[in-house]
Amino acid sequence: MSLILDLLFPKICYSCGQKGEYLCSKCQKHINIINVKSPKYGFDGGLSLFNYHSIIKSAIIDLKYNFVSDNVDSLSNLMAKKIKSNFPNLVKHWQKNNFILIPIPLHQSRHFWRGFNQSELLASSLASKLHLDYSNEVLIRNRKTDVQAKLKNIKDRTKNVANIFSLNQSLGKLEHKNFIIFDDVSTTLSTLKSAQNTLKILSPKYCWYLTLSAG
């Protein structure tokens, strides 16, 4: 079945158009990584891997709006490769301190419409490649919000996602765990900050954020 699908819908590099891969090895070399961010907004650190430029932007749009979920492996491979090669000590820190990689949850209605949460797919695949714990059950999204990308004012974005998350009380003890909050795209960090505020009640020693791209 996979061979038939590849023949009918071949993978094409988002940059050069070469068939066979969504992100060919040659074009990957030209995707530059962004540096680790210093502690801010209560986070112990943050990492937005790539600029929201043509290649990454095309891949994310395909995933979120054209439902091309089979590009997740290509994107997570790229993320894992760049993190391991550029920040090996950070990976060791995350592993040594038992960080849990948790994705930003979608509201149930949006999840139902799309059929999946792109951040869950990316985070789960990345956690496996970096040998980190993963959970998509820590945070619950309480209400539907406007799409952040459509809001240009930072105050509107902050208000839009204020107090939208709660903790999943059925998980048992999560106090003093360490977290990496993952999202696909971040511009103002508003959604990530809202999630981090919700996690404060657990008194984590460390809390990082990680995004595929920054727009």
Report how far residue 78's alpha carbon sits from residue 28's, in angstroms, rounded to the nearest whole number: 8
Distance (Å) of CA 187 to CA 51, 70, 86, 107 = 10, 25, 22, 20
For 62-80, what is each residue's pLDDT tens digit?
A: 999 999 999 999 999 999 9
Q: At what angle do helices 54-65 and 118-130 cross, to 10 degrees?
A: 120
Task: Check: CB of residue 196 under 8 Å from CB of residue 104.
Answer: no
What distance in Å separates the CA atoms of residue 109 and residue 96, rounded to the nearest whole number? 37
Distance (Å, whole) CA 163 – CA 165 = 6
**Which pLDDT band, with edges at 50, 70 and 90, does 131 fall under?**
very high
* Chain-centroid distance, C-alpha 148: 15
Q: What is the pLDDT of residue 108?
A: 87
Phi-psi region of 86 (alpha: psi -120 to 50; beta: other; left: phi over 0): alpha
Structure tokens at 195: 């999630």
Residue 138 token pair: 């820590």
pLDDT tens, 143-199?
A: 877 565 655 556 766 777 778 999 998 877 777 789 999 999 998 899 999 999 999
Angle of helix 118-130 relative to helix 72-86, nearest 10 degrees, comes to 40
Amino acid at 66: N
What span, in angstroms and rounded, lies between the C-alpha atoms of 94 and 22? 29
Q: What percent of the chain has pLDDT over 90?
A: 67
Q: What is the pLDDT of residues 23-34, one digit of tens each?
A: 999 999 889 888
Q: Where are the beta strands (DSSP E) in 105-175?
A: 133-134, 139-141, 165-167
Q: What is the mean pLDDT of residues 6-11?
A: 67
> What does the radius of gyration of the chain's CA atoms come to, in whole angstroms?
17
Tally of CB atoms within 10 A around 44:
17
